[in-house]
């Protein structure tokens, strides 16, 4: 099972399972790497994945918890998905993005899980037999620069609890924004764009996915209201 429909951006720059598997996505990212967005090597990505899987019982299926674009374009094969809740983290636009949906001149903002609160999202189950290969596709997408940290979290689902790997903000990374006001966040989402498309499109797709799954995110509702308001004219 897969929901990996193409997400088309500029210059044919897309995220699909096929592009992740072939290495085309990595090649495109590396060709556009900037000093603030260094890209890990294949060996570094493999080693990072091995470290994460070292804490997972061999032979068991693997769950992945998604809270942003993984909800509407997972781009990996999975056998089951469930709505789930993670405690101790909340969904927040807290990572700068100078490529993809931003530029060096006008960095965009990317979602991550940040410390504190609660987050509702989607848990995807990958069968054990294909877990490493499918997770490698996720790693090639999410773990490129070190701005995310892979963490195992407890996910409460209607069918029972599961243990899932997810991606939290690395607060020590240069791309971590620190505190941003809702207005500043909304302004950047409204303005930024890159090879994958606009930051606004990323926001709208995420909100649409949350609505489709009947997930209410108060912070994103407030940011959406701020985006809808006209920005103040420059002095």
3-47 pLDDT, tens per residue? 433 344 444 467 899 999 999 988 888 887 777 667 899 999 999
Query: Quick check: is 18 catalytic?
Result: no
The confidence band for 104, taking pLDDT boundaries of 50, 70 and 90, is: confident
Give the domain ranges of the chain. 7-228
109-147 pLDDT, tens per residue? 999 999 999 999 999 999 999 999 999 999 999 999 899
pLDDT at 137: 98
* 91 close to 111: Cβ distance less than 8 angstroms: yes
With a threshold of 0.85, does the pTM exceed it? yes
pLDDT at 232: 52
pLDDT above 70 (res 230): no
| Candidates 11, 18, 134, 142; catalytic one | 142
Query: CATH number of the domain at 7-228, out of 3.10.490.10, 3.40.309.10, 3.90.400.10, 3.30.70.260?
Result: 3.10.490.10
């Amino acid at each position: 099972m897969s929901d990996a429909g193409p997400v088309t951006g500029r210059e044919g720059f897309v995220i699909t399972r096929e592009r992740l598997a072939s290495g085309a996505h990595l090649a495109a990212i590396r060709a556009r790497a900037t000093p603030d967005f260094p890209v890990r090597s294949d060996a570094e990505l493999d080693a990072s994945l091995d470290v994460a899987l070292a804490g997972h019982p061999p032979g068991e299926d693997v769950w992945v918890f998604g809270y942003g674009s993984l909800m509407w374009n997972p781009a990996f094969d999975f056998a089951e998905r469930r709505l789930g809740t993670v405690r101790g983290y909340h969904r927040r636009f807290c990572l700068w993005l100078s490529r993809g949906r931003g530029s060096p001149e006008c960095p965009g903002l990317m979602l991550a899980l940040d410390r504190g609160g609660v987050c509702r999202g989607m848990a995807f189950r990958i069968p054990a037999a294909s877990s490493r290969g499918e997770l490698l596709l996720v790693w090639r997408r999410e773990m490129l620069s070190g701005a995310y940290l892979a963490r195992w979290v407890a996910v409460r689902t209607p069918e029972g609890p599961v243990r899932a790997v997810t991606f939290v903000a690395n607060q020590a990374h240069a791309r971590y924004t620190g505190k941003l006001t809702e207005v500043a966040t909304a302004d950047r989402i409204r303005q930024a764009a890159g090879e994958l498309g606009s930051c606004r499109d990323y926001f709208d797709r995420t909100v649409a996915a949350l609505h489709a799954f009947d997930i209410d995110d108060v912070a994103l509702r407030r940011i959406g209201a701020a985006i809808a308001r006209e920005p103040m004219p420059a002095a």
